[in-house]
């Protein structure tokens, strides 16, 4: 796949951070695919910068497990492992249940409307076969109550965890339309929030993530079966 082109000039004052965020977005959105070779010269030219900030960004991405390298031979985007969600999803749903506990007393109609709008975006993205927009809409839905927890430490931990899982979500939505089941699960979460039923909210958040994990595992099993 050709290296994406960054047609908007980077802000020189924040170049290192912008180069990092640009490359991070390309990987999460699937513009740089798993296994794709990364050449610092090519990436630097596409962003109109020197190789130095690109190399720094590659090191940071490698620290997050999104890039892998072999000394003086190659650097490439890490493969998406089906084992990763099994480790990450339980942590995410546990932290989201905590966020719901802290948010339920301060959520208002405006927040429920935002969640419903995010779910509408998810439905449209799934219908049009756009995995990137589907993933972003799914994150937008959950972010409404996470942000209302007003817990910056919790939000920061979840943000970092979701960097790791988003690539899986993009791949998942790209290959499977059963993400539609999340639409009904999301609506039940909103209904439970509106009713002030914390235990139901937490149960539905957990179910939403568990069902997503099951669907991923089924896809992986089917893919393995097809390749044999």
66, pLDDT greater than 80: yes
Which pairs count as long-range contacts for 193-202, CB under 8 Å and 24+ apart, including other chains? 193/100, 193/104, 193/107, 193/112, 193/115, 193/145, 194/112, 196/104, 198/100, 198/101, 198/104, 201/100, 201/104, 202/97, 202/100, 202/101
Per residue in 163-220, pLDDT tens?
877 777 776 555 555 567 789 999 999 999 999 999 999 999 999 999 888 887 777 6
Query: Is residue 168 a contact partner of residue 84, using CB atoms and an 8 Å limit?
Result: yes
Given a contact cutoff of 8 angstroms between Cβ atoms, the answer to whether 53 and 16 are in contact is yes
Per DSSP, which regions of the chain are E strands?
67-70, 74-77
Convert the pLDDT of each residue in 130-176 to its tens digit: 878 888 899 999 999 999 999 999 999 998 888 877 777 776 555 55
Query: What pLDDT does residue 189 have?
Result: 97
Distance CA 163, CA 168 (A): 10
Burial of 41 (0-12, 13-18, 19+ CB in 10 A): exposed
Q: Give this prediction's pTM.
A: 0.79
Residue 126 has pLDDT above 90, yes or no: no
Given a cut of 90, whether residue 96 has pLDDT beyond it is yes
Task: Kindly indicate the confidence band of residue 97, based on its pLDDT and cuts at 50, 70 and 90.
Answer: very high
Listed in sequence order, the residues at least 6 apart from 196 whose beta carbon sits closer than 8 Å to its beta carbon are 104
Residue 60 has pLDDT above 70, yes or no: yes
Q: How buried is 37 (Cβ within 10 angstroms: 0-12 exposed, 13-18 middle, 19+ buried)?
A: exposed
Q: Tell me if 4 sits within 8 A of 46, measured CB to CB.
A: yes
Average pLDDT, the chain: 86
Q: Which tokens hold the place of 128?
A: 């049009």
pLDDT over 80 (residue 3): no
Per-residue confidence band for 122, with pLDDT thresholds at 50, 70 and 90: very high
Q: In the predicted model, what is the mean pLDDT of residues 84-99?
A: 93
Report the pLDDT averaged over residues 2-13.
59
């Amino acid at each position: 796949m050709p290296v994406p082109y960054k047609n908007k000039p980077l802000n020189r004052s924040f170049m290192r951070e912008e180069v990092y965020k640009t490359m991070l977005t390309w990987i999460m959105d699937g513009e740089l695919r798993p296994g794709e070779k990364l050449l610092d010269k090519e990436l630097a030219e596409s962003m109109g910068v020197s190789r130095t900030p690109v190399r720094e960004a590659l090191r940071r991405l490698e620290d997050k497990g999104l890039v892998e390298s072999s000394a003086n031979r190659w650097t490439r985007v890490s493969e998406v492992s089906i084992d990763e969600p099994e480790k990450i999803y339980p942590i995410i749903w546990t932290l989201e249940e905590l966020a719901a506990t802290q948010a339920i007393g301060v959520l208002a109609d405006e927040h429920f409307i935002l969640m419903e709008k995010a779910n509408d975006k998810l439905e449209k993205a799934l219908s049009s076969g756009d995995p990137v927009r589907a993933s972003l809409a799914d994150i937008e839905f959950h972010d409404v109550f996470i942000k209302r927890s007003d817990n910056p430490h919790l939000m920061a931990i979840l943000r970092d965890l979701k960097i790791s899982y988003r690539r899986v979500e993009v791949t998942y939505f790209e290959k499977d339309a059963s993400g539609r089941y999340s639409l009904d699960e999301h609506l039940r979460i909103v209904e439970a929030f509106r009713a002030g039923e914390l235990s139901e909210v937490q149960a539905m958040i957990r179910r939403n993530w568990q069902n997503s994990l099951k669907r991923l595992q089924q896809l992986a099993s089917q893919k393995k079966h097809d390749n044999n």
